[in-house]
Amino acid sequence: MTKWIFSLMTALTLVVVTACGENNADNSAEEAAAEASANENSSEASNEDNGEADGREDWPDTFIFGLLPTEDQAELAKRFDPMVEYLEEYLEMDVEIYNATNYTALIEAMANGHLHASTFGPFSYLVANQRANGEAFAIPVNDEGGTLDDIFYYAQMITLEEHGIDSLKDIEGNSLAYADPASTSGHLFPKAMLINEIGLTLDNVDEFPSDVVFSGSHEASLYSVLNGDVHTAGVCSTCIERVFDRVEDHENFDQLKVFHESEPIPGGPYVIQGDLPDSFKETVTQAFLEMDQDEKGAEFLEVNGYLGGYFEIDHDTYNVVQETADALGMSPEELLE
């Protein structure tokens, strides 16, 4: 009997020991799984802190936006301060303004990765697209409640009724004024119209009129026509509209007429460097498109006269500008002169 009881106690002891071992193994497995989960959560939190969880890992640390200083830099910075504040909050990053002396400097900075986005003119954008992989993404509209059509303006050919000029062909043998050699609508587009629409060439386009002069500005060209100094002139549609109130008392104002108009010309675009991450480019675009919905953004739009906010555009918007450059046989260097 004693031996039987001893054997039974031994067997029970083995069962208990075995059960304890299994429980310890189960507990170890659970602890290992919990530790792995904690490590994973810690890693995810770390990644989120680094911007990886939301696809920001390749974003720049600071968004650098370029401006051509068309006025005193202090005044320019004051006008763009609300935009900087708005973008910093929207993008959740620092935003810096990069002031350049000319478009060439902006393009080189973008090509070298020192500049992420900037404003450009229609022709300088073509060079930024070619040299720095710049992509047009947005454009401001001046009129409140405006549409995408409001981003366009026109090169117009003007004259006085008394000269009997009704078409581009009638310019032959008459004097012609351009605004400035680098003017898009006051020189380049009017000259391209003569080449494309009546079959002139770069070699003879300046010989078609009896005389070609550069007035220095759109307003000066308008006065040259009104005063009878030249028979016709190429001018910017919006530029002339802005000075009508100053010239409507001129004795020849009632004779003034537009006898030819170019295809719509897009205004200068906002351009972003194309090699940046798609998620970053898309977010920047949305920031500009939604700017009118924010207090600081709306302040910037009002101060700068962009009452219609921003509209999204792309490279195709500037096909007409490229066609004009091609017609004039202009190289990238000449486009910037």
Residues 161 and 257 occupy one common structural domain: yes
Tell whether 258 and 162 lie within a shared domain: yes
Q: Is the same domain home to 135 and 161? A: no
Cα–Cα distance for residue pair 229/232, rounded to 1 Å: 9
Place of tokens 């000029």: 165
Query: For residue 7, is it within any domain?
Result: no
199 and 159 together in one domain: yes
Sheet containing 94-99: which strands, arranged edge to edge?
94-99, 62-67, 117-119, 270-273, 134-140, 310-312
My answer on whether 127 and 163 are in the same domain is: no
Higher-pLDDT residue of 75 and 17 is 75
Any domain includes 6:
no
The answer on pLDDT for 252 being more than 60 is yes
306 is a domain residue = yes
Cα(126)–Cα(328) distance, integer angstroms: 14
Domain boundary among 205, 237, 262: 262
∠ CA 262-265-271, rounded to 5°: 165
Q: What's CA 45's distance to the chain center, in Å?
A: 35
**Of the candidates 134, 118, 141, which has an alpha carbon nearest to the alpha carbon of residue 309?**
141
Give the range among 40-44, 246-250, 261-265 with minimum mean pLDDT.
40-44
| Residue 121 and residue 171 in one domain | no
Secondary structure letter of residue 186 according to DSSP: I
Give me the CATH number covering residue 317: 3.40.190.10
> Are the beta carbons of 137 and 270 closer than 8 angstroms?
yes
pLDDT tens, residue by residue, 55-90: 789 999 999 999 876 556 777 778 899 999 999 999
Q: Is the residue at 211 inside a domain?
A: yes
- pLDDT one-digit tens code per residue, 21-60: 545 545 555 555 545 444 544 444 444 444 455 678 999 9
Judge if 192 and 248 occupy the same domain.
yes
Instruction: Work out the average pLDDT over 5-31.
Output: 47
Q: Are residues 222 and 251 in the same domain?
A: yes
Residue 124 domain flag: yes
pTM: 0.71
How many folded domains does the chain comprise?
2
162 and 233 housed in the same domain: yes
Q: Are residues 240 and 218 in the same domain?
A: yes
Phi then psi dihedrals of residue 123, to 5 deg:
-75, -40
- Which of 226, 245, 262 is a domain's end point? 262
The answer to whether the beta carbons of residues 263 and 156 sit under 8 Å apart is no
Instruction: Report yes or no on 24 lying in a domain.
Output: no
| Domain end position, chosen among 233, 262, 291 | 262
Q: What's the average model confidence in pLDDT over 126-140?
A: 95
- Higher-confidence position of 7 and 158: 158
Residue 304 CB partners (closer than 8 Å, separation 6+): 79, 140
Asked if residue 213 and residue 160 are part of one domain, the reply reads yes
Domain of residue 124, residue span: 62-147+267-336
Question: Could you tell me if 312 and 181 lie in one domain?
Answer: no
184-200 mean pLDDT: 93
| C-alpha span between 27 and 30 (Å, rounded) | 5
What is the three-class DSSP state of 284? helix
Residue at 54 is within a domain: no
Whether residue 90 lies inside any domain: the answer is yes
Query: What's the chain's average pLDDT?
Result: 85
